[in-house]
Chains A and B, each alone.
Chain A
Amino acid sequence: MSRPLPYSDPAHLAAHQFLVEEAALLDAADYSGWLALLTEDIRYVMPVRVTTARGAPASNDMGHFDEDMYALRKRVQRLATDHAWTEDPPSRTRHFVTNVRTFRAGPDELRVESALLLFRSRGDTREADLISAGRADLLRETSGGLMLARREITVDEAVLRTQNLAVFL
């Protein structure tokens, strides 16, 4: 693995800003705004993690998400209906994005790694949920600015403690 770009590098600064702005859209539940950040060939995956002996593969070839643009659009369309009960009343979420490292992946592509802590609170009596994950993104430089072309979410729990993934990470 090559070294990350210096934190002062304009490409790193742009990538970091992209992730923070993206998190702001997600926390504001502006999902159509979020979709506009994705390339048409987006791949959005979140493998299931399993507990295995050291050195053995830590996934079981199943995903929590394995999405293309059609699937993500359907999810966003659903959340926009009046019948997406699981997010009505909506969750209060906060996407904390940190540990951002940017790598030059190609002439017009950046590989960006980040750590994500998603806080999700529902209702007034339930304990809030936390999802901790690493993310490896491929950001593409386009005429319209940076866009997300691939995201792989590496969740840190084998058994998730949230009622569903009606949220994006």
Chain B
Amino acid sequence: MNMIDLAAVVSQVRRGMIPAHVYGDPEIFALERDRLFSRSWVFLAHESEIPDPGDYVVRRVLTDSFIVVRDEAGTIHVMFNMCLHRGMQVCRAELGNASHFRCPYHAWTYRNDGRLAGLPFHEDAYGGEDGFARSGQRLLPAPAMDTYRGLIFISLDEKAPPLRDYLGDFAFYLDFYVNQSPAGIELRGPQRWRVKANWKIGAENFAGDSYHTPHTHASVVEIGLFREPKASKRKEGALYQAGPGAGTTYKLPPGGDFASQLRYVGYPDAMIPAMSQTWTDQQKALVADSGFMVSAATLFPNLSLVHNWPQIDDRGTVRPFISLRQWQPVSERETEVLSWFAVDAAAPEEFKRDSYKAYLMCFGISGMFEQDDVENWVSITDMATGSMARRLNLNSRMGLTSDGKPVKPPIAAFAGPGVAYQGFGEYGQRHWLSQWSDHLEREPAPKQATDLGVAR
């Protein structure tokens, strides 16, 4: 083990040179498992996916399966999907509604808040509480669970900071996607598919790669589906880095006020007052004064967001859509993509329908943007797994001078927190990779095993 020199890899990454093998290296993947996903906050689900008591979805962090469930009192629990007795999955569906989860193996049964409720022949088999202390036992909870605006995250580190502290300044930008009205968002999906690509590539791409848009997505401009990505417009967008996140924006037409800019990207008048009341003056100033509209973003490590506004019919109707997506690592060469459609829960039904259409045309497994992205990412991963990739450090220094200074100064009058640059540059990707480096340099968190049912 440890054929790689981790310190050398991290030091290259920190100067913006990425050893190409990190996109296809099993040792790096093991380090990511042990040092990054063992600690970081990871998105699992949104509360709107489980609106009623007993509603559940089953989601994973790498190979660990968790039941995300709303109990009879409405409280959300996230618990490890493994029977306390012999370790069978107690829930083998990916969604549904249940008052109890019963293990198919020996019929141990758990309430939907995780409490062990049924243990057949407790008296005969164990001699009652003395042999197995049933009372107070529950499915193993996620070490840490927290929510923000209905987004449910867990961390495998019980000492994780509060989620809101972790999100820091990125919450300002996240709200554009998930907090357009007091009703919050509702999700449809996810679509799930597996691609033979390393999970980091998508996460980095959404964190700041405005440079790929004019070329990779040239076809969607040519057919008139979405006009903004042409290079002359794309390079006017701001790239921001804030807290654990980073993202891209598009420059809005000059001279518009808040409402007219929202109309420009296709929001109907019925939705604009709620945005105006829900967003802070600073958030509104990003749109109205700075003149930027959020597009792609990544919250470290593997939750990305996108907000685009394509043309959805022959009459020229423009409608925006929002997608949340997760790059769920399967191996160093494979990623499961989970892609949700998100929309303001209070939006008019007609808008929800149009926005869903806009999403399906652009993103997700059939999306005309996403199709070409994944082609690139699979190809990169293919090339990264061999020995020649160990001789190549990819240049990720766009936007930096030779002595490490920004080619252009940050935007002075940018209303959002963090730092933002206008023009092409790999600022967001380096911001993401810097957090990745921080995690890989730390020793794994110690894990405490739990004894079940025995006297302590």
Contact = CB atoms under 8 A, between A and B. Distances in A.
B37 interface: no
A99 interface: no
Contacts of A48: 189-192
Interface string A52-94: 1100100011111111101100110110010111100000000
Given A51-B92, A161-B194, A64 B219 contact: no
Given A85-B375, A161-B193, A52 B312 contact: no
B188 interface: yes
A62 B189 contact: yes
A64 to B, nearest CB: 5
A61 B190 CA distance: 9
A125 B383 CA distance: 11
B219 A165 contact: no
B371 A160 contact: no
Interface in B305-329: 312-314
Contacts of A75: 368
A3 interface: no
Nearest to A167: B366
A78 B217 CA distance: 10
A78 B94 contact: no
Chain B at the A interface: SS class: mixed
B371 to A, nearest CB: 4
A163 B222 contact: no
A74 B361 contact: yes
B360 A63 contact: yes
B449 interface: no
A63 B196 CA distance: 22
A158 B222 CA distance: 33
Given A52-B96, A71-B360, A164-B365, A158 B375 contact: no
Contacts of B188: 60-62
B218 interface: yes
Contacts of B223: 74, 77-78, 81
B259 interface: no
Contacts of A50: 93-95
Given A70-B312, A83-B219, A158 B96 contact: no
Chain A, interface residues (CB within 8 Å), range: 35 or more
Contact of B196 (A53, A64, A71, A126): A126
Given A50-B95, A71-B357, A60 B193 contact: no
B365 A64 contact: yes
B364 interface: yes
A159 B194 contact: yes
A166 interface: yes
A46 B327 CA distance: 23
B395 to A, nearest CB: 22
B382 interface: yes
B361 A52 contact: no
A162 interface: yes
Contacts of A51: 92-94
Interface string B373-407: 01110100010000000000000000000000000
Contacts of B364: 64
Given A53-B93, A159-B194, A159-B336, A86 B189 contact: no
Contacts of A64: 191, 364-366
A60 B356 CA distance: 14
Contact of B222 (A61, A81, A161): A81
B205 to A, nearest CB: 14
B95 to A, nearest CB: 6
A163 B196 contact: yes
B222 A83 contact: yes
Contacts of A161: 193-194
Contacts of B98: 53
Contacts of B260: none
B366 A165 contact: yes
Contacts of A126: 196, 378, 382
Contact of B341 (A56, A62, A65, A85): A62
Interface in B167-196: 188-196
Contacts of A56: 93, 96-97
Contacts of B368: 74-75, 78
Contact of A83 (B92, B94, B218, B366): B218
B192 A159 contact: yes
Interface in B91-111: 92-98
B140 interface: no
A152 B293 CA distance: 36
A69 to B, nearest CB: 9
A51 to B, nearest CB: 5
A46 B368 CA distance: 16
B272 interface: no
Interface in B218-269: 218-220, 222-223, 225
B371 A86 contact: yes
7 contacts: A56-B93, A65-B366, A71-B357, A74-B223, A160-B193, A163-B374, A165-B366
Interface of B: 92-98, 188-197, 215-216, 218-220, 222-223, 225, 312-314, 336, 340-341, 356-357, 360-361, 364-368, 370-372, 374-376, 378, 382
Given A85-B375, A126-B196, A164-B375, 9 more contacts: A50-B93, A71-B360, A74-B223, A84-B219, A159-B192, A160-B365, A163-B375, A164-B367, A165-B371
In order of increasing CB-CB distance, the 8 nearest A-B pairs are A62-B189, A165-B366, A86-B375, A83-B218, A160-B193, A83-B219, A164-B371, A86-B371
